[in-house]
Amino acid sequence: MGELRPGAAVADKPAPAAATRASKRKTPARAGGDAAPPFVAWLDAVPFACAAYAHDDGALVAANRRFMDEFGELPEHTQRERLLRGLHGDGSADPQPIEVHAPHNGRWYALHWGALPSDDGALALLTAVDISERIETLDSHKTQQEKLLFTSRLMSVGEMAATLAHELNQPLAAIVNYLNGSLRLVDQAGGPVQVERALHAARAQAEHASAVISRVREFVRAREPRRDAHELATIAGTVLELLRLEAERLQLRIDLALAPALPAVYADRVMVEQVLLNLVKNAIEAMREVPAAQRELRVEGRVNLDGEIEVRVCDRGHGLSAQDQDQLFSPFFTTKTDGLGIGLAICRSIIEYHEGRLFFEPRDGGGSVFGFTLPRADGRA
């Protein structure tokens, strides 16, 4: 049985650390007797990176050429625990294959440890199979699937929006015309002032609805929405004004709490208004059945830890069961008898289009928090 010569089969690239051990150890026993080829030649015949470590002190005993090519530049490769710590932060050689991301070359490996009996102490045999291609394919499938999901959500929402926009545009234009006519009549008759105020409020609502619809139509026609720098205070002001009458009717307090000097958001104003309107409306609806003293709504705006603008609509309504939370953003999920269940799905598409995130959290002390993030406009608009 010959000497263990780790460098022998890697003639043009000897394994320096392995060579230091070579003189002290014997080649591991091999079925078939003395005609065994040098140990490293066996390792070299394996088509993956392969190395043997002493079982007792974990020192590298032999390595094939491929191992030296792929791991030789890692100073930790000469000792098993140090190598493992360098690759996955934990020094234990797991008997189960594990997948690691090697920091020194950015590749993914499946590591597998096997035991190898030898004359002078057992060896631990490491094979490291490069699985980067499989991981990359999986990753790209995942992003592809996410994109597809996003597009199909946009498409189903888009088709519905196109139909709705078409159906609603005509009656809305007629409503605005009738309101203008009524305003003229009230003006000629010199009052009453309450009617005039109500007609103005109704016209503002109808005009907002028209603006939303025409923007949705643009969006559906795949035209670029208009993203610019906008102050959250203006967006929130418009939305809360639209809902003021409904809030008064329900004796509901609305608190707008924006952090001082909040940077502008980079967004399509009407689309974000639509999202906020939807969330605030849902919050108001959730508080219909709770005692009036409890009906308190808070709209918060702040910069979050990631530097994005975060808007939070916090209510004291009935909240959501764990089961409902899971389906919350799926199209057509509704718990209302007259609900369509597309509001939150549309909000999510709009917010994702803006590179933001729509989220739900239970509110401390009862109720819900629906929120979204938007990029800030600094340096973009």
Identify the residue whose tokens are 């309504």: 317
Of residues 212, 187, 210, the one with CA closest to residue 200: 187
Nearest to 227 by CA among 279, 276, 264: 264
Question: Applying CB under 6 A, which part among 80-88, 166-174, 211-219, 278-286 lies near ligand ADP?
Answer: 278-286
Q: How far is the CB of 303 from ligand ADP (least distance, A)?
A: 24
- Find the binding residues for ligand ADP in span 296-355 (CB under 6 A): 315, 317, 320, 324, 328, 333-336, 339-344
How many other C-beta atoms can be found within 10 angstroms of the C-beta atom of residue 191?
A: 9
Q: How far is the CB of 130 from ligand ADP (least distance, A)?
A: 46
3-class SS string, 180-191: HHHHHHHHHHCC
- The beta strands (E) that lie in 92-185 are given as 98-101, 108-116, 123-130
Measured over the CA atoms of residue 10, residue 14, residue 17 and residue 19, the dihedral's sign is positive
Binding of ligand ADP by 283 (CB under 6 A): yes
Beta carbon of residue 290, minimum distance to ligand ADP (angstroms, whole number): 11
Give the residue with the Cβ less far from ligand ADP, 276 or 283: 283
159 vs 228, beta carbon nearer ligand ADP = 159
For residue 201, the minimal CB distance to ligand ADP (Å) is 23
Among positions 39, 219, 266, 370, the unique one binding ligand ADP when judged by CB under 6 A:
370
In the complex with ligand ADP, which residue's Cβ is closer, 72 or 343?
343
Q: How far apart are CA 285 and CA 364, in angstroms?
A: 19
Among 368, 371, 376, 377, binds ligand ADP (CB under 6 A): 368
How much of the chain is in helix, strand and coil states, percent to nearest 5?
45, 20, 35
Tokens 């939370």 correspond to what residue? 325
Angle, CA 313 vertex, CA 307 and CA 314 arms, to 5°: 115
Q: State the nearest-atom distance from the C-beta of 101 to ligand ADP, in Å.
A: 39
Q: Total residues at the site for ligand ADP (CB under 6 A)?
A: 21
Which CB sits closer to ligand ADP, 117 or 366?
366
What is d(CA 64, CA 72) in angstroms, rounded to the nearest whole number? 10
State the binding string over 222-261 for ligand ADP (x if CB under 6 A, else -): ----------------------------------------
Judged by CB under 6 A, does residue 212 bind ligand ADP? Answer: no
**From 127, 282, 349, 373, residue interacting with ligand ADP (rule: CB under 6 A):** 282
Q: How far is the CB of 314 from ligand ADP (least distance, A)?
A: 9
- The candidate with the shortest Cα–Cα distance to 218, out of 174, 177, 270, 167, is 270
| Least distance to ligand ADP, CB of residue 173, Å | 25
3-state class (DSSP) for residue 29? coil
State how far the alpha carbon of 367 is from the alpha carbons of 150, 211, 283, 358, in Å: 29, 31, 9, 17
* 8 or 297: CB nearest ligand ADP: 297
In the complex, minimum distance from the CB of residue 325 to ligand ADP, in angstroms, rounded to a whole number: 9
Cis peptide before 192 (omega within 30 of 0): yes
**Smallest distance from ligand ADP to CB 332, Å:** 8
- Using alpha carbons only, give the angle 254, 257, 263 rounded to the nearest 5 degrees: 135
Should residue 78 be labelled a site residue for ligand ADP when binding is judged by CB under 6 A? no
- Residues at the contact surface with ligand ADP, assessed by CB under 6 A: 278, 282-283, 286, 315, 317, 320, 324, 328, 333-336, 339-344, 368, 370
